[in-house]
Structure 1
């Protein structure tokens, strides 16, 4: 039998958990509704995972949002989580606005550890750079359902920020926060 004091503490803790459980699912929509909120949506083609996240409010990045993005964009071969450059998320947010698109980005590749990068260089069909910006968390390969790759590429180039690679045969566009260039 619980002591009355312990019972009260138990009920108070349970009430707090119920309230937290009810509020947490509402936090993302509430944040996303703020006028300065910047959010992104993703589907990962290899893991089947989906993510919708607010990563910044105004000029302030949200640490929890960035952590969720780092996890989502982890090396899907090794499971290693890298630190993704927040400027990449800014680029994706601007790109989505320019395209006027609400579809999620379909992720082919985000962060890559050095071992995965080396293996893909040895066994892949090419296109994997020895010093890939994927290993620094500064690159992403993606597409958007319903948006022609040419339009995605052109919109990315028009941003004038970072590198843009066009891979129509493999059905993706590479974006990075390195120097401005395209191929």
Structure 2
């Protein structure tokens, strides 16, 4: 990557330095929240669903408080589109998604492939694929499968891993990244 203004400091270096500083400075329950502190005291999600055609571009947190109506709308957006069932999405997952998006420095919305999954949907998907966990965190509203057209699976996964706040799965063949607020772990290639 080219140096910025001939200063010898690359954008990649600055992002890495920011990430290292933010992780050390984040005293909250989720390191992801630390990544969002410097963003003007707001947290925002921008997504669309290819399954429903719905779009979401929403501030869901301002000055230390989650916005109840915004979170409710996000829960609806991330519902199981097959059964139309809604579950409250864990706020830590939303924070990880937002922090990762900020680190990627994109204006493009996430393509959400999967948010909440009902037990029926999870069982159906599990019968078709070995990659679906029996006790998936999707069924608890604690996970999302996401894609960006302008970023690779590895780039998205690295941003999510920088949050040190949950599970990150790389699904390169299917071109998406799984993010959750469970135990810190990683898998896939």
Q: TM-score, normalised by structure 2?
A: 0.76
In 2, distance between residues paired with 1:82 and 1:49? Answer: 17
CA contact (8 A) 1:38 1:58 kept: no
Determine whether 1:134 maps to 2:163.
no
Determine whether 1:54 maps to 2:54.
no
In 2, distance between residues paired with 1:112 and 1:49? Answer: 17
Instruction: Give how far 1:125 is off.
Output: 2.2
- 2:115 aligned residue (107, 110, 118): 110
Ranked by relative contact order (alpha carbons within 8 Å, sequence separation 6 or more), the top structure is 2
Q: Which one has the bigger helix percentage?
A: 1
Structure 1 partner of 2:46:
41
In 2, distance between residues paired with 1:170 and 1:47? Answer: 19
Larger CA Rg, structure 1 vs 2: 1
Structure 1 partner of 2:169:
165
In 2, distance between residues paired with 1:160 and 1:45? Answer: 29
Q: Over aligned residues, Cα RMSD in angstroms?
A: 1.2
In 1, distance between residues paired with 2:112 and 2:50? Answer: 6
Ranges of 4+ aligned residues in structure 1 off by more than 3 Å: none
Structure 2 partner of 1:86:
91
In 1, distance between residues paired with 2:98 and 2:129? Answer: 30
Instruction: Give how far 1:37 is off.
Output: 2.1
Structure 1 partner of 2:9:
none
Structure 2 partner of 1:119:
124
Q: Look up the SS of the partner of 1:166 in the other structure.
A: strand
CA contact (8 A) 1:164 1:175 kept: yes
How many equivalent pairs are there?
A: 149
